[in-house]
Chain A
């Protein structure tokens, strides 16, 4: 366990020494903040419209969960922003070590390959949690001015977290397969984007099995339920199994690196 922490510590320090971390943090916070403001404006407009309509036709305005509506839209979009930012976090995890030759230090140290893989995974995941943490700035404003239902928001964040773990582990695997972090970044980006749109590839297909498979693979779709505040085991299992798959593939990739030298 201590060996894992040693790796996590170095990785996190490396993130914050390089300008990449600050660029990713800034852009993520900026983009998610802009979306929040945008959605806030829309929700307020909707509420005002509903209020005006009810005033026009008389009677009570229909009950509306403005904070909830806002959070649903916000978390959904933040998931997409995270998908764009994650490749930047994972692209260098192994590719840089391979290029610099530091992989040789790690692979000849008295630690196991699994400890190396987990250390890197936890480090990138920690950074991903920090990214998600920045969204609490606008969300806490929501708590300041309104009374949103916390349950659905927490479920939404749990979903974001599991989704984040899954895409981090995929990115880490791709990084372990190349020596160039740019290549790793581009491929990760492509794979995640393809997984995001997976459902729309088969829109016109009649075969329910194919359609089902592609719909299932659509990585963001599984986020929808969480964002609505619905906690379903299917979605939890989807993200966890995707995470484990990524970890396993990375582990195998390191093993094959040893054999190939």
Chain B
């Protein structure tokens, strides 16, 4: 649905995005993750046709956003970082204007406006002045604008910013609901958001793709090895030796120990799930297995790991990370 090929955006002072390539399939929710200034907004602005790329091509539904901008833009609903609202208007007036701007005509204008207001739950404020609305409502009016004329592609730059937890939940549910018929690209720096809503994640750092994958695979990739935590009732030295000799176990560390019970942190080899073997080893040893669980790296850890790894690679002269 969206294909970005070798896109570079250079400003006189800096290169915002460098040689970026990725595809987004129909019905997919793609998350854009990255620190501030990584090039998320620039990439989104290029995809929406707001600004042209210095090099490379972007196609939306087969239409080049630079060569056939109007055809491409018809298929995109865009919520910029700052919702593009006319503060002196009411949500109703604003959405009517935005609908007409997107080519909705006649009686369909009011139908569309009503539909998007229902989806984003802003009907109760439709006659208030936008300037007087809370940040959450403003954000949702902006989102409603993006949904007008039901575009197949939605580009949402930080869609849940400024919302309260309940509204964040609603918006995420709405985005999930939209997937399937719609292709959604959203950017965020809130990691749980990506884990909860996105099918696929692109981690972008200093204008380059640092990693691509499902939230799950990224976690594995960065983790390298599975970490397992066990609590065993039994003599510590023997248990330790037994655990160390278990298949695919790389390293065992004692975390704590009291009343004959010890907690161990076990690191397995890359992509190996050592839980079964560890459990069997403990049981065969005749000890009590009190607790066993895999400790997962959160996407946050992955993210930080990727970004900091990259720092050491690209800036070897830096003394510390």
In the complex, identify which listed stretch (B21-29, B79-87, B225-233, B295-303) lies at the interface while the others stay far away: B79-87
- Kindly state whether residue B145 has any CB partner on chain A within 8 Å: yes
Q: Closest A residue to B73 by CB, please name it.
A: A110
- Kindly state whether residue B93 has any CB partner on chain A within 8 Å: yes
Pair A259/B98 contact, Cβ less than 8 Å: no
Q: Given the known A-B contacts A14-B86, A100-B87, A108-B50, are A261 and B45 also in contact in the complex, defined by CB atoms under 8 Å?
A: yes
For window 70-113 of chain A, which residues contact chain B by CB distance below 8 Å?
Answer: 100-112
Pair B82/A108 contact, Cβ less than 8 Å: no
- Kindly state whether residue A42 has any CB partner on chain B within 8 Å: no
Q: Given the known A-B contacts A101-B80, A104-B80, A261-B45, are A111 and B70 also in contact in the complex, defined by CB atoms under 8 Å?
A: yes
- Kindly state whether residue B208 has any CB partner on chain A within 8 Å: no
Separation of A160 and B188 alpha carbons in the complex (Å): 53
Pair B101/A109 contact, Cβ less than 8 Å: yes
Pair B100/A6 contact, Cβ less than 8 Å: yes
B32-65 near A? 1/0 per residue, CB < 8 Å:
0000000000100100111110000000000000
Pair A6/B97 contact, Cβ less than 8 Å: yes
Pair A104/B50 contact, Cβ less than 8 Å: yes
Pair A18/B84 contact, Cβ less than 8 Å: no
Determine how close the nearest CB of chain A comes to the CB of B186; give it in whole angstroms.
Answer: 16
Q: Report A-chain residues with C-beta under 8 Å of the C-beta of B42.
A: 261
Determine how close the nearest CB of chain B comes to the CB of A110; give it in whole angstroms.
Answer: 4
Determine how close the nearest CB of chain A comes to the CB of B304; give it in whole angstroms.
Answer: 29
Separation of A260 and B54 alpha carbons in the complex (Å): 11
- Kindly state whether residue B119 has any CB partner on chain A within 8 Å: no
Separation of A260 and B100 alpha carbons in the complex (Å): 27
Separation of A40 and B90 alpha carbons in the complex (Å): 46
Determine how close the nearest CB of chain B comes to the CB of A209; give it in whole angstroms.
Answer: 38
Q: Closest B residue to A18 by CB, please name it.
A: B88
- Kindly state whether residue B132 has any CB partner on chain A within 8 Å: no
For window 184-231 of chain B, which residues contact chain A by CB distance below 8 Å?
Answer: none
Determine how close the nearest CB of chain A comes to the CB of B27; give it in whole angstroms.
Answer: 22
Q: Given the known A-B contacts A13-B93, A261-B42, are A111 and B101 also in contact in the complex, defined by CB atoms under 8 Å?
A: yes
- Kindly state whether residue A3 has any CB partner on chain B within 8 Å: yes
Pair B85/A3 contact, Cβ less than 8 Å: no
Q: Given the known A-B contacts A2-B105, A107-B50, A108-B78, are A100 and B97 also in contact in the complex, defined by CB atoms under 8 Å?
A: no
- Kindly state whether residue A147 has any CB partner on chain B within 8 Å: no
Counting contact residues on chain A (CB < 8 A from B), the size range is: 20 to 34
- Kindly state whether residue B115 has any CB partner on chain A within 8 Å: no
Separation of A7 and B100 alpha carbons in the complex (Å): 9
Q: Report B-chain residues with C-beta under 8 Å of the C-beta of A106.
A: 101
Q: Given the known A-B contacts A6-B100, A104-B80, A258-B50, are A110 and B74 also in contact in the complex, defined by CB atoms under 8 Å?
A: yes
Separation of A7 and B49 alpha carbons in the complex (Å): 20
B116-159 near A? 1/0 per residue, CB < 8 Å:
00000000000000000000000000000100000000000000
Determine how close the nearest CB of chain B comes to the CB of A102; give it in whole angstroms.
Answer: 4
Separation of A14 and B93 alpha carbons in the complex (Å): 11
**Set B76, B81, B105: member contacting A108, Cβ < 8 A:** B76
For window 225-255 of chain B, which residues contact chain A by CB distance below 8 Å?
Answer: none
Q: Report B-chain residues with C-beta under 8 Å of the C-beta of A260.
A: 11
Residues of chain B touching chain A, judged by Cβ–Cβ distance below 8 Å, are 11, 42, 45, 48-52, 70-71, 73-74, 76, 78, 80-89, 93, 97-98, 100-103, 105, 145
Give 29 CB contacts A-B under 8 Å.
Answer: A2-B100, A3-B101, A3-B103, A6-B97, A7-B101, A9-B97, A14-B86, A17-B88, A100-B84, A101-B80, A101-B81, A101-B84, A102-B86, A103-B84, A104-B50, A104-B78, A105-B80, A105-B84, A105-B101, A108-B49, A108-B50, A108-B76, A109-B98, A109-B101, A110-B101, A110-B102, A111-B70, A258-B50, A259-B51
Residues of chain A touching chain B, judged by Cβ–Cβ distance below 8 Å, are 2-3, 6-7, 9-10, 13-14, 17-18, 100-112, 258-261
Given contacts A9-B97, A10-B97, A14-B88, 14 further A-B pairs with CB under 8 A are: A2-B105, A6-B100, A7-B101, A13-B89, A101-B80, A102-B86, A103-B84, A104-B50, A104-B80, A108-B76, A109-B98, A109-B101, A259-B51, A259-B52
